[in-house]
Amino acid sequence: MLGFNREILGLQPSRSMTFMAKAKQLRAQDPEVVDLSGGEPDFDTPQKIRDELYRQVAAGYTHYTVGAGLPELRERIVKKLKEENGCDYPAEGIVVTPGGKFAIYLAVRTFVDAGDEVMYLEPAWVSYPSIIEASGGRPVPVRLSHSDNYRITLEQLEQHVTDRTKMLIINYPNNPTGRALSRVEADALEQFLLRHPGLMLLSDEVYERILYTGNENISMGSYASVASRVITMNGFSKSVAMTGWRVGYLATTPEIGAVMYKLFQHTITCVSGFIQKAATVALDCTEEIEEMRRRYERRRDMFVEGLNAIDGVHCALPQGAFYAWVRFDIPGMGSEAVCDYILKEAKVVGVPGVAYGTDDSCVRFSFATAEEDLERALIQIRAAMERVKK
Ligand SMILES: Cc1ncc(COP(=O)(O)O)c(C=O)c1O
């Protein structure tokens, strides 16, 4: 018997990655399959960013870099957070990581001792509980309710706090529900932090640049009263179509950044210099980002309207991110059974709500997909739902 680490051995495989792999396989076997399972923009990384990478590699900028990020990238992130998010983080508090996922791990690992509790809001991105477990912590889900439009209340948060609670993780715009954080909820979070001075808030804002008309982004790091305990995490994967580049960042105080850097130094050394140079350019790709956002918005409008026109299918209009969180009323079927039915009868691949910790019979479909695929998915789902009633 091999003596594996208990926490690592106990981890569940990432359900979203399992679904993506399954969907790719199904599509290779049957081209009629529409894959809406992925969490990945279908757009190319903007040309300017790719050009910068080629330029840097051609110039031989291929060695180790020193520190928690290149000075120009850290400075550019500070400027972005100040101008776009109203946050006041210093450059010494910026840690550039190989992807947002690792940033979350680094933040959780830096604070959690064995047995400490980390709260997170459900439905939740699939990796939070596993990252908490891999850090020796105990995941504490706070289940928000579908019928209440996944509203956060102070009372609910209070019900889950114990003297072992170290951190709360939030994610807005939300994967999978598409909800943006409201001002009332942000104020409740501020109150919650003020009541619990030992608690950290990790704010995952990877979809922050993908917000639809009429919605504003609220970064908890902009609340001066609690800013020193808000770690803001963001990345380039979603907003600039850079999933494969693996670059993200954390913004925090210099004191916390220095502790994170201890683990960083001994695990990843640095993020590739040429990638960091390209990421610096990415922060200036305002027009390209806006063009992608507009395209997502058109797809959202078309797809969600089409879904709601089908009997037994309900989807609230997402305020941000690129997911439709869709409830199917099929008697006797939970989200996994619904997903299997939609796959078999409509040849459309989604991710069952149960992967996000809920039992709401919801399925997540990504609309970061070509318009013609979304139109085909609607036709096929409609036909499958008509058959269900017979
Ligand atoms: C809510 C959320 N946070 C973090 C990530 C991680 O993104 P990345 O590691 O590609 O930066 C994802 C990716 O799916 C996500 O959906």
Cβ(243) – ligand 1 distance below 6 Å: yes
Nearest ligand 1 atom to alpha carbon 248:
11
Measure 1 CA to ligand 1 centroid, in angstroms: 35
**305 and 187, same structural domain?**
no
For the segment 328-350, the average pLDDT, to the nearest whole number, is 91
**Ligand 1 geometric centre to CA of 241 (Å):** 12
CB neighbour list of residue 140: distance below 8 Å, 6 or more residues apart: 117, 118, 119, 120, 160, 165
Of 175, 181, 231, 243, the one to substitute when testing ligand 1's pocket (max ligand atoms within 8 A of C-beta) is: 175
In this structure, the answer to whether residues 306 and 207 fall within a common structural domain is: no
Ligand 1 near 174 CB (within 6 A): no
Question: pLDDT tens for residues 191-242?
Answer: 999 999 999 999 999 999 999 999 999 999 999 999 999 999 999 999 999 9
Considering only residues 38 and 243, tell me which one the structure prediction assigns the higher pLDDT. 243
Give the position, in ligand 1's atom list, of the atom nearest the Cα of 171. 1
Query: Which has more confidence, 107 or 25?
Result: 107
275 lies in the same domain as 302: no
Task: Using the 3D structure, point to which of 284, 299, 321 is the last residue of a domain.
Answer: 284
Domain boundary among 250, 284, 318: 284
Question: Would residue 319 count as lying in a domain?
Answer: yes
> With pLDDT > 90 as the criterion, what percentage of the chain qualifies?
87
Other beta carbons less than 10 A from residue 81's beta carbon: 23
Is 2 inside a domain boundary?
no
Range of the domain at 38: 8-45+287-385
Q: Based on the domain organization, do 195 and 305 belong to the same domain?
A: no
CA-nearest residue for atom 14, ligand 1, is 39
Of 260, 284, 308, which closes a domain?
284
Q: Which of 217, 253, 282 is nearest to 88 (CA)?
A: 253
Asked whether the bond before 173 is cis by omega within 30 degrees of 0, the reply is: yes
What pLDDT is attached to residue 38?
85
Q: What percent helix, strand, coil does the chain show, rounded to 5?
A: 45, 15, 40
Give a yes or no: residue 375 inside a domain: yes
How far apart CA 101 and CA 251 sit, in angstroms, is: 14
The mean of the pLDDT values for the chain is: 95
Query: What pLDDT score was predicted for residue 390?
Result: 52
Report whether pLDDT(72) > 90.
yes
Do 232 and 377 sit in the same domain of this protein? no
Q: Are residues 35 and 157 in the same domain?
A: no
Q: Which CATH number goes with the domain that contains 367? A: 3.90.1150.10
The pLDDT value recorded for residue 12 is 83
- In terms of domains, do 158 and 175 share one? yes
How many Å lie between the centroid of ligand 1 and the Cα of residue 101? 6
**167 shares a domain with 226:** yes
Q: Note the helical H segments in 10-70.
A: 15-29, 47-58
Please indicate, yes or no, if residue 187 is contained in any of the structural domains. yes
pLDDT digits 0-9 by tens, 116-129 = 999 999 999 999 99
* Same domain, yes or no: 272 and 309: no
Q: Residue 389 has what pLDDT?
A: 63
Q: Is residue 390 part of a domain?
A: no
C-beta 99 within 6 A of ligand 1: yes
**Whole-number pLDDT of residue 7:** 87
CATH number for the domain harbouring residue 243: 3.40.640.10
Atom of ligand 1 nearest to the CA of 104: 4
Residue 120 lies in a domain: yes
Number of separate helices (H) and strands (E) present in the chain: 13, 13
Does the pLDDT at position 265 exceed 70? yes
Distance 384 CA to ligand 1 centre (A): 31
> Could you give the number of structural domains in the chain?
2
Ligand 1 pocket test target in 14, 101, 208, 245 with most atoms within 8 Å of CB: 101
Q: Are 300 and 331 contained in the same domain?
A: yes
Contact 212, 177 (CB under 8 A): no
Residue 207 lies in a domain: yes
Residue 319 Cβ inside 6 Å of ligand 1? The answer reads no
71 shares a domain with 205: yes
Highest mean pLDDT: which of 38-47, 180-189, 331-340?
Answer: 180-189
251 and 321 belong to one structural domain: no
Residue 211 lies in a domain: yes
* pLDDT tens-digit map of 138-162: 999 999 999 999 999 999 999 999 9
Q: Is the Cβ atom of 191 under 6 angstroms away from ligand 1?
A: no
The rounded Å distance from CA 125 to ligand 1 centre is: 8
110 lines ligand 1 (CB under 6 A): no
